[in-house]
Structure formats: C-alpha cells, structure tokens
Chains A and B, each alone.
Chain A
Amino acid sequence: MDKYENYISQEQQEAFERLLLDQMTAEEKASFMKKLNADSMLKKQFEEFKELFFAVEEAGLRNSMESFHTTFKAGDRETTATKNKFYWLQIAASILIVLSLGVWFFVKPSPNEKLFQHYFTVDPGLPTVMGTTNNYDFYEAMVDYKQGKYDIAIRKWEKLLLENQHNDTVNYFLGSAYLAKGNANKAIGFFKTTLHTDTSIFSKEAHYYLALGALKNNNTEQAIQHLKMVADEKSEELLKKLQE
C-alpha cells in the first residue's frame, strides 16, 4: 500500500460518498463542487474514488442481474425440455417413415389391388322404410350395414342364414359386408351361394363383386370370367384393363 499515493482520509471518503449517494443538500453540494473545481488534487482524488465506487456498484448489479435472470432460467429449462421432446418426436417420426417405407415396399399394392380399389364401391344396400315389411330382423341389419357397422350386420344376417341358408338376398349382402371389410375369401363364398339361385336379382352384382374379390386375391383369370357375365359399361372397362 505504501508504494502508492496515500489513500484519502475517512472524512474525505465520507464526503465523496455523500455526494455520490446524493445525500448532500443543495447548498452543501454547491460549496463542495466549488472546492472540487478549485483544487485539482481533490478533483483527482474524487475521480479515483468515483471509479472505485462504481466498481462496487457494478459488482452489486452483476449479482442482482443473476436474480433478474432466474425467471428466464426457468423458461430455458422448459425450452430445452420442449426441444428434447421435439428431438425425440423427430427421431420417432424418422423411424416411422423408414418403417412405413419398408412395409409399403413389401406390401405395396399390386396392379390388381389398385384396380380393386379403383372399382370397388360398397353396395348401397336396400331401402329401409319402416312398416313396408315384416322381415324386421333383415332390415335392422341393413340399417347397421348402411351405417358401416359391418360386423353387427354380419352377425345379424348370419343368424338369419341359419333359418334359410340359400336366401340369395341375405347371402348377397353378407358377401357385400365381408368385402367391405376387406375379407375377400369369405365374400366370394357368399356371392357364389347367391348365384345358386338362378333367377336372383343380384346375379349381375354378385358376378361383379366376385370379379373384384378375385382381383383382390390377385386372380386375374377368375376376375375376367366373372366380368364377362356382367356386361355393363363399368365391367367392360375393367375387363379391358385386365386384358391389356
């Protein structure tokens, strides 16, 4: 400490402090400033003290800023957590894409499958007007069928089938329901039974759906045979495509 100029007196320091802490009265301040401007040594000492004073304040502000920043620290953690969450989601999404591509590669639709999808529409079913029939159970199932509740419709119609195994209408709609569900083999069985009734009003449709069922099973030959039995515009168009 002796190497440098002596430090100011305690009284001097306290006077400087009072000025910097704005604790002087206007009069006091004016007289102090006058003295300061007249005395270059005092002025130098004051400037030096001011720097030290500011350094202390700055250290205080640095401490305080850490607490000002704590709210952002909490926010940061959230951000990081969100980032991590998205990071994992991204990985999960990538894996999913790779898997989907793999699955698609192995089960990608065959040309016949594509034709099936293009030409298949679910049979709209029969109108269900209350009171026009006493075959209540059949039409109740028809309501389910029309609502896309194929499993319920199938259960109800299969019950009816126990009483009358060769009913073309029940067989036809059971076939339709199974095909709508994507079960071509079961559907084919029921459509074939429909055709056992020679004069069935559903024979044309049954052949068309049999052709589609065959397509779904990738059996082009059988699909062609059935289409030849239908002979309407849509069937001929599909037939052409199959024969190409």
Chain B
Amino acid sequence: MGNALQNTTIQLVTAFKNNDQKVMQAVYQTVFPKFRSHVFKNNGDEDQAKDVFQESFISCWRNVKNNKLKENSNLEAYLFTIAKNKWTDYLRSAHFKKTIADNGVIVMRSNYEDHADEHEMEKKLNALHTAMEQLGGACKKLLIQFYFDRKSMDEISKDLQLNSASVRNKKYRCMEKLRALAMKTKHNG
C-alpha cells in the first residue's frame, strides 16, 4: 500500500488502464477508510459507504481509461472527490424524494447542466450491465479473463483444456451474444 502511495500519477494511470489489480486494490484500500469516515460523519452507514464507493471507483477507473484525468492530478484525491460528490448526490436524492412525498412539489436540480447526457449515458451503461448479468457464467468468465484479467490465450486455453482456435471462436460467439443481449435490453427498456 505504501508503494502505491509513492507511485506517481502516471504509474497509477497506466496501472488503472491495464487493470493492474494489485495497484487498484492498494488505491481502493487507501481511499475507502477515508471515505467511510466521511460517510459516517454525514448520516451514512457501512453498506451505503461501500455501495457509493464502489460506484465511484468504477467512475474513476472509467474516466482514467478515457483520459479524463487531468495531468498532474492525484488519482487518489480524484477518487475521493468523486466519492464525496456521489455521497452528496445520494443525500440530496434521498431528500429530493422526501420533498416530493411531503408536499408534492418537485424541486429542480439546477447544478446538473448536462443532466440529459448523463441520463443517456447511464441508460446505455445499465443496458450493458444487465446484458452482462444475463450472459451465461461460462461466457462471462471467458470474457473477463481476456479483457479484464488480461490473461494470455495460452493460459486460457490451458485452463479450458481447449485449443486456441476453439477458444477464439468461443470468445467471438460470447461477444456476439453479449451485443445481442445489450441491444435487446436497450430497445425494450
């Protein structure tokens, strides 16, 4: 964990882009306790802290991959800021629901200018998320090993006891299935 703290932002960014799980774990375990204290001080509990933090971690990781993290900015501080903002948002939304329930008046949220874009993006991600859930266990495992764990074809072939041509074909079919599921969800939802 200490090494992760000493790593420069560039190293952390590279590690996030390559899904380096050791580095991501170190960042996760460094920032989560700080965020949890923040949540505890602001009317939240353990489960809420975990849920909001994991969503924030995903956002942070996605933004890093899309090169949205500014140069020279501290990745851990960036993650903490995202999480803090998401917590504020969470508290507001709870309050928002309560306001409607209490007097039937809908309060406009003015601090979200690109709300429509955000909503569209969220819808797309949800469709993909649902598709991943619907994908069979074998496909899910295979794709995660390739794309997230970044295992080599040799390793995966050995693991599945199949030749590489079969594994390649399996991978192709799984992606095709995932795409079909995502399109179905998007069109129906």
Contacts and interface: CB of A to CB of B under 8 A. Distances in A.
Decide whether A and B are members of one complex. yes
B28 A68 contact: yes
Interface of B is mostly: helix
A62 B133 CA distance: 12
A232 interface: no
A56 B148 contact: yes
Interface in B1-48: 17-19, 21, 24-25, 28-29, 32-33, 36, 46
A51 B172 CA distance: 15
Contact of B176 (A1, A3, A20, A51): A1
A64 B124 CA distance: 23
Interface stretch (A7-15, A106-114, A131-139): A7-15
Given A10-B169, A52-B128, A76-B46, A61 B61 contact: yes
B176 A57 contact: no
Contacts of A53: 147
Interface of A is mostly: helix
Chain B interface size band reads 35 or more
Given A62-B54, A68-B28, A52 B178 contact: yes
B176 A58 contact: no
Given A4-B180, A10-B168, A55 B128 contact: yes
A26 interface: no
B58 A62 contact: yes
18 contacts: A1-B176, A13-B172, A17-B146, A20-B147, A48-B179, A51-B124, A51-B128, A52-B128, A53-B147, A56-B132, A56-B146, A57-B148, A58-B128, A59-B144, A60-B19, A62-B58, A64-B24, A65-B57
Interface of A: 1, 3-4, 7, 10, 13-14, 17, 20-22, 48-49, 51-65, 67-69, 71-72, 76, 79
Interface of B: 17-19, 21, 24-25, 28-29, 32-33, 36, 46, 50, 54, 57-58, 61-62, 65, 124-125, 128-129, 131-132, 140, 143-144, 146-150, 168-169, 172, 175-176, 178-180, 182-183
